[in-house]
Each structure stands twice: as C-alpha cells, then as structure tokens.
C-alpha cells in the first residue's frame, strides 16, 4: 500500500515534469517574444516585462528558473494580463470549476447507475429500450448543441432557469445537467451491460437458490461486480468532465478555470495556459489514483502494487 502510493507519487512528478518540459520548449521556441505584437509597448516597458518573464536570459537559464519557481509553487504571471499571477486565476476559478465538476460527476454516477440497473432488470422491455434510446441521445449530441438547446428551451422559452451566470442554485442547475448528461448516459449504458453480465454469473444463481429477496440479490450480490467497469470508467469520465467544462463554462458564462483556459489559449497567454495544463494534469492524476484505490476496495481479488 505504502509502496503503491510512493510509486504513484514518483510517476506524478515525472508526468508533470514531462508535460512542463515539452510545453516549455515548444513555447519558448517561437521566434520573437510574446510581446512583439504589442504596438503600444515602449522599448523600456518591454525590457521590464522581459525581465519579469526572464526572457532576457538564455534558454537554459530560463528553464531552470522556471522549474525552480514552479517547485516553489509559484506559477508566475499571466502574459496577457501582466498584473495578475497565474495563481490568482486558479484561486478564482478552481472553486467554481470544482463545484461544477464534482456535482456533475456525482449526478452522472448516481443517476447513471440507477438507470443502468433498472434497464438491465427490465431487459428487452419498453422501459429498457426507451431508457437506452434516451441514453444514446445523450452520447450522440455534442455538448454545446445540447447546452444551447437547453438554454433555448428552459431559459428563453419556459423561463424556468436563468440562461447564464454563477452564484445562485438556480444558475447551477442547467450547466450541471448539461455537463453531466453525456456521462450519465455513458455510465447508464455501461452499468446496464455489466449488470447483464453479472446477472448471468453462477454466483447470482447461488444467491437465488438461497431464497434471498430480489432487492438483496441486486444490491448486495450483483451491484458490486457491476460497478467495477463503471469505476474503471470514472478516470476517463473525470477527464471528459474537465474537457466538457470548457464548453459549458463558456456557454453559460461561468467564470471558472475552463473559461480562463480557453481565453488563455485563444489569446496565446502561454504562462497561464501552461499553469492550467499542469493543474489539470495534477487533478486528473489524483482522480485516477483515487479510482485505483476504490477499485481495490471494491474487488477483494485486486492487490495494489
């Protein structure tokens, strides 16, 4: 167990270093500094800025300086908004994005597993067919189309929810639902498939031969095995929700990390972009680690190594 954690931590550091190095050299290799395009900059001001980003030093020196400051937890300044540190954007955006993401993931798991189990138990029936048809729509429609249709219907036509913004619970509902929809659908289908597989296992027959109630058979005997593929999928699902948050935050005007990231990418704000990529890597890696831990907790046969 300890060895597992330590090994994972080492890999995490290596991964972050790899991402950092590749991004760093791709970024700095662009001819001309990031300030060349700015007409308003006087040579003196430019010098000050370049000193701040260490652009006046050699590439090697820049690299070591950057690594040293990252190790101290200092992600530097944004290039396009030089008065703001990258950590400022993270402090502002992370709580919002985390709330949005966690809520969506929770909804996706709870609703998805419930739908999947119901569909599997009613296999071939009208409930199963319609639930799965619905789930497939969730998978087949791109996120931003779903979001804009939802805004059109629930905000502009029915006036149930506000179309955009952040802060009140009503403003939360639409974005969370739109973000969760594809993953709910996917988890539902996954649960259904694995549930059907588990329902065909010999040990389910044993449980039935013991005269247990159907609810106990499903919850105690079947669900655990059926959840394993779902847990495996949680890593990719988390990655997907991170990605989806880019779209959803843009569409609903939520000032989260995703919005900052897209802005940074579109305005070539390399330092901000890189800081956020590293943060996303850290988040995803941690989530994957938690998934592996929960996997070994769910399946007693799995040993962590």
Q: Are 79 and 269 in contact (CB under 8 A)?
A: yes
Considering the complex, what minimum distance in angstroms separates the CB of residue 292 from another protein? 9
Cα–Cα distance for residue pair 84/59, rounded to 1 Å: 24
Compute φ and ψ for 30, nearest 5 degrees.
Answer: -70, 130
Shortest spacing between CB 118 and another protein, in angstroms? 18
Compute the distance between CA of residue 180 and CA of residue 174 in angstroms, rounded to an integer: 10
- Of the two residues 107 and 204, which places its CB atom closer to another protein in the complex? 204
Roughly what angle, to the nearest 10 degrees, separates helices 223-251 and 169-199?
Answer: 150
- Residue showing tokens 């990655």: 239
Angstrom distance (rounded) from CA 54 to CA 17: 20
C-beta closer to another protein: residue 48 or 75: 75
Choose between 48 and 210: whose C-beta lies nearer to another protein: 210
Nearer residue to another protein within complex by CB, 114 or 281: 281
The CB-of-251 to another protein minimum distance in angstroms stands at: 8
- Least CB distance to another protein at residue 82 (A): 19
Closer to another protein by Cβ: residue 47 or 216: 216
Which is closer to another protein, CB of 5 or CB of 208? 208
Q: Minimal distance in Å, beta carbon 44 to another protein?
A: 26
Location of structure tokens 């138990």: 121
Q: How far is the CB of 204 from another protein (least distance, A)?
A: 8
Helix axes 143-150, 169-199, angle to 10 degrees: 130
**What is each CA distance from 18 to 25, 63, 72, 277, 284, in whole angstroms?**
11, 13, 18, 12, 15
The rounded distance, in Å, linking the Cα atoms of 30 and 268 is 11
């Amino acid at each position: 167990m300890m060895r597992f954690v330590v090994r994972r931590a080492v890999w995490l550091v290596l991964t972050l270093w790899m991402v950092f190095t590749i991004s760093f050299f791709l970024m700095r290799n662009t001819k001309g500094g990031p300030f060349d395009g700015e007409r308003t900059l006087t040579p003196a001001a430019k010098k000050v800025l370049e000193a701040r980003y260490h652009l006046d030093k050699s590439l090697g020196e820049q690299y070591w300086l950057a690594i040293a400051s990252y190790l101290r937890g200092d992600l530097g300044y944004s290039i396009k908004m030089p008065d703001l540190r990258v950590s400022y954007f993270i402090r502002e955006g992370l709580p919002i994005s985390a709330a949005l993401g966690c809520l969506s993931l929770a909804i996706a798991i709870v609703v998805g597993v419930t739908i999947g189990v119901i569909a599997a138990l009613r296999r071939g029936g009208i409930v199963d067919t319609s639930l799965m048809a619905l789930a497939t729509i969730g998978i087949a429609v791109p996120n931003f189309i779903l979001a804009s249709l939802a805004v059109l219907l629930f905000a502009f036509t029915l006036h149930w929810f506000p179309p955009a913004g952040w802060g009140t619970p009503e403003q939360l509902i639409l974005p969370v639902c739109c973000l969760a929809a594809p993953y709910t659908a996917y988890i539902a289908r996954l649960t259904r498939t694995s549930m059907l597989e588990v329902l065909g296992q010999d040990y389910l027959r044993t449980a039935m031969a013991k005269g247990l109630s159907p609810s106990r058979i499903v919850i105690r005997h079947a669900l655990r095995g059926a959840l394993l593929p779902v847990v495996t999928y949680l890593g990719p699902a988390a990655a997907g929700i991170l990605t989806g948050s880019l779209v959803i935050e843009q569409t609903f005007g939520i000032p989260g990390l995703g919005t900052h990231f897209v802005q940074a990418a579109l305005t070539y704000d390399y330092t901000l972009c890189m800081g956020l990529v590293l943060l996303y890597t850290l988040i995803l890696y941690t989530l994957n680690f938690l998934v592996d831990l929960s996997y070994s907790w769910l399946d007693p046969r799995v040993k962590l190594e």
